[in-house]
């Protein structure tokens, strides 16, 4: 394991007295009322999972939770740095708290996560947002109680952003937002250094959790009645690389699949260069593993893929899809794609369109390239205008919409397993294994149940069905 550090139980134990101090701090102020925390999470599922851990710690310190910053004692923004737009939203939303802090100076406002891990952004928060009392990076989240003591009890403005290769902290309590769907991180960080991407710079090196810890957590989730477990990591299929335990991602899936109970195993995100025949053979053998596969391709042009440092070609990607479809009947793909990477030409973009047509994705997450300070792509010549990139982007989303509509139409008349996920008032929403949502009539008390649904119509991207 590179230079990453497993946080020892003793080190975590050191947080206990800090937790007591925070609890006492609020009890002395308002003996009969629990303090409230408002935790806002931006970005990917990894961030959602991190927030669930920080909420677990906050709950242990006596906090309740609110969505409304106006009634919160502690406001925490867990931020994302992946695109400029994501950062701008955070700057805007944090900025909007200035007036609240003036009205209620006792509120503690904190910003953490991937944005803060970048030096220039941390500096900007420190200098231009003086009402933010606590700034901390991605590698010290397990020390939240200690940081709160410094801020609240010692009344200091705290900035804690060590640069390191990353840590693994086991045994942090988790306050999960869902009652039947759970996120389960299996690895952290990334070693791939795609030339456009900030993630390896803010999340540190790739490191995998111990398989026994993952299995124990999964067993506990199943015991608690969770019906869907999503394994998380920036690159889940390189799980276990370089670790002494010798358990790779397919083996981890096999062990999770062997846990008794009725539940679905999802995972994201996978990298094409680490997607092996063994992985698809394993999915075919494991009845609890979802037949939905999120496999970002980013570009259909070999020239651009090389510039992106993705480590595979268009042909290799298509060969993977062919092998997967042959091995796992009914497997459905979704993907991420970037338009307007520096130097991308119309011919490159057309290669992307043709790959989209050739594969037939269920859906696509589409992004316009956003230069990230400190990444190689941010320095590459980028002659294509923003207007042209936007026009390409629209062309691509229109193509995907047509393809999605055709796919949805083909589902009409079929019977599908689905998980009843939410109550939208006039109907319930159920998720198909391939990730599409279908509207059904049913008793909201059944939310969290797996059902079989007959698809009755597909109109304007909305599937409707009936529970059989
Ligand atoms: N680890 C995953 C992978 O390799 O695909 C996901 C990484 S990132 C959290 C999610 C998606 O954001 C990427 O797949 C990519 O399409 C997009 N993305 C990352 N950096 C970007 C950038 N600088 N500009 C535009 N999109 C970007
Ligand atoms: Fe970013 Fe590439 Fe790592 Fe995904 S694999 S997190 S896109 S560097
Ligand atoms: Fe964003 Fe950090 Fe995830 S940059 S996408 S929150 S790893």
What are the mean pLDDT values of the chain's consecutive 10-residue runs (468 residues total)?
74 95 96 96 97 98 97 98 96 97 97 98 97 97 97 96 92 92 97 97 96 98 96 96 93 98 96 97 96 97 98 98 96 97 98 98 96 98 96 97 92 93 94 90 93 92 92
156 and 195 housed in the same domain? no
Query: Ligand 1: which of 81, 190, 197 to mutate, most ligand atoms within 8 Å of CB?
Result: 197
Domain boundaries, position 56: 5-164
Index of the ligand 2 atom closest to the CA of residue 197? 1
pLDDT at position 2: 46
Ligand nearest to the backbone CA of 382: 1
Task: Classify the phi-psi angles of 303: left when phi > 0, otherwise alpha if psi is within -120 to 50, otherwise beta.
Answer: alpha
Residue 467, strand partner residues: 453
Q: Are residues 421 and 405 in the same domain?
A: no
Are 454 and 315 found together in one domain?
A: no
Phi, then psi, of 337 in degrees rounded to 5: -145, 145
Report the CATH number that the domain containing residue 450 is assigned in CATH: 2.40.50.140
Our answer on whether the CB atom of 194 is closer than 6 Å to any ligand 2 atom is yes
The number of folded domains in the chain is 3
Please say whether the beta carbons of 314 and 300 come within 8 A: yes
Predicted pLDDT of residue 4: 63
Residue that terminates a domain, selected from 109, 137, 164: 164
Distance 398 CA to ligand 1 centre (A): 21
Contact 189, 200 (CB under 8 A): yes
State the CATH number of the domain containing residue 47: 3.40.50.12160
Round to whole Å and give the CA distance between 126 and 135. Answer: 8
157 and 198 inside one domain: no
One domain for residues 154 and 184: no
- Distance of alpha carbon 376 from alpha carbon 308, whole angstroms: 9
| Cβ of residue 372 lying under 6 Å from some atom of ligand 1 | yes
234 lines ligand 1 (CB under 6 A): yes
Strand extents, DSSP E, 248-351: 264-268, 292-294, 332-339
Shared domain for 173 and 159, answered yes or no, is: no
Closest to 235 measured CA to CA, from 281, 277, 204: 204
pLDDT value at position 403?
Answer: 94
274 and 172 both lie in a single domain: yes
Q: How far apart are CA 47 and CA 158, in angstroms?
A: 21
- Which pLDDT score, from 0 to 100, does residue 390 have? 98
- Picking from 409, 424, 457, the residue at the C-terminal end of a domain is 409
Contact of 187 with 235, CB cutoff 8 Å: yes
> CATH no. for residue 340?
3.80.30.20
317-326 own/partner pairs: CB under 8 Å, 24+ apart: 317/272, 317/355, 318/355, 318/358, 318/359, 320/272, 320/275, 320/295, 321/295, 321/359, 323/277, 323/280, 324/275, 324/280, 324/283, 324/293
Say if residue 369 is in the same domain as residue 248.
yes
Cβ(235) to ligand 2 under 6 A? yes
Element spanning 108, H or E: strand 108-113
> What is the position in ligand 3's atom list of the atom closest to the CA of 115?
4
Whole-number Å distance between alpha carbons of 381 and 401: 31
Q: Which residues contact 38 (CB under 8 A, 6 or more apart)?
A: 65, 66, 67, 68, 69, 71, 72, 74, 75, 76
| pLDDT of the residue at 461 | 79
Nearest to 69 by CA among 91, 87, 93: 93
3-state class of 231 per DSSP? Answer: strand
Rg (CA), the chain: 23
Does 216 lie in the same domain as 80? no
User: What tokens were used for 1?
Assistant: 């394991």
CA 197 to ligand 1 centroid distance, Å: 6
Measured from the Cβ of residue 220, the count of other Cβ atoms closer than 10 Å reads 11
87 and 144 share one domain = yes
Same domain, 360 and 437: no
Which of 134, 164, 194 is the last residue before a domain boundary? 164
Regarding whether 189 and 147 lie in a shared domain, the answer is no
């Amino acid at each position: 394991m590179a230079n990453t550090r497993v946080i020892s139980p003793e080190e975590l134990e050191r947080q206990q007295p800090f937790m007591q101090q925070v609890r006492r701090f609020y009890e002395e102020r308002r003996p009969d009322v629990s303090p409230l925390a408002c935790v806002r999470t931006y970005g990917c599922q990894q961030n959602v999972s991190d927030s669930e851990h920080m909420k677990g710690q906050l709950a242990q310190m006596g906090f309740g939770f609110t969505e409304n910053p106006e009634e919160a004692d502690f406001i925490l923004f867990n931020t994302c740095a992946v695109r400029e737009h994501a950062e701008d939203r955070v700057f805007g939303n944090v900025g909007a708290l200035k007036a609240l802090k003036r009205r209620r100076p006792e509120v503690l406002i904190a910003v953490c996560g991937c944005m803060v891990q970048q030096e220039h952004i941390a500096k900007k928060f420190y200098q231009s947002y003086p009402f933010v009392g606590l700034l901390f990076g991605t590698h010290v989240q397990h020390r939240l109680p200690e940081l709160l003591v410094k801020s609240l009890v010692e009344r200091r403005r705290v900035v804690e952003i060590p640069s390191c290769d990353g840590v693994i902290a086991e045994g942090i309590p988790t306050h999960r937002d869902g009652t039947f769907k759970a996120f389960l991180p299996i690895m952290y960080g990334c070693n791939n250094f795609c030339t456009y991407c900030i993630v390896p710079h803010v999340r540190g090196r790739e490191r995998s959790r111990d398989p026994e810890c993952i299995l124990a957590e999964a067993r506990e989730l199943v015991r608690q009645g969770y019906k869907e477990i999503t394994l998380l990591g920036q690159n889940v299929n390189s799980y276990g690389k370089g670790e002494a335990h010798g358990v790779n991602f397919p083996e981890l899936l096999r062990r999770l699949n062997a846990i008794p109970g009725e539940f679905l195993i999802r995972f994201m995100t996978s990298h094409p260069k680490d997607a092996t025949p063994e992985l698809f053979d394993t999915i075919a053998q494991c009845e609890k593993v979802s037949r939905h596969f999120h496999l970002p391709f980013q570009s259909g042009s070999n020239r651009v893929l090389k510039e992106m440092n993705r480590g595979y070609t268009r042909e290799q990607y298509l060969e993977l899809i062919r092998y997967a479809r042959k091995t796992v009947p009914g497997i459905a793909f979704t993907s991420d794609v970037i338009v307007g990477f520096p130097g991308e030409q119309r011919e490159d973009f057309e290669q992307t369109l043709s790959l989209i047509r050739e594969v037939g994705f269920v859906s696509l997450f589409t992004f316009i390239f956003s230069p990230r300070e400190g990444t190689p792509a941010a320095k590459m010549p980028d002659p294509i205008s923003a207007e042209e990139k936007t026009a390409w982007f629209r062309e691509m989303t229109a193509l995907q919409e047509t393809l999605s509509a055709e796919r949805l139409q083909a589902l009409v008349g079929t019977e599908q397993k689905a998980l009843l996920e939410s109550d939208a008032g006039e109907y319930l929403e159920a998720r198909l294994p391939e990730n599409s949502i279908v509207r059904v009539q049913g008793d909201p008390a059944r939310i969290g149940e797996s059902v079989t649904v007959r698809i009755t119509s597909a109109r304007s991207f909305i599937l409707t069905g009936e529970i059989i």
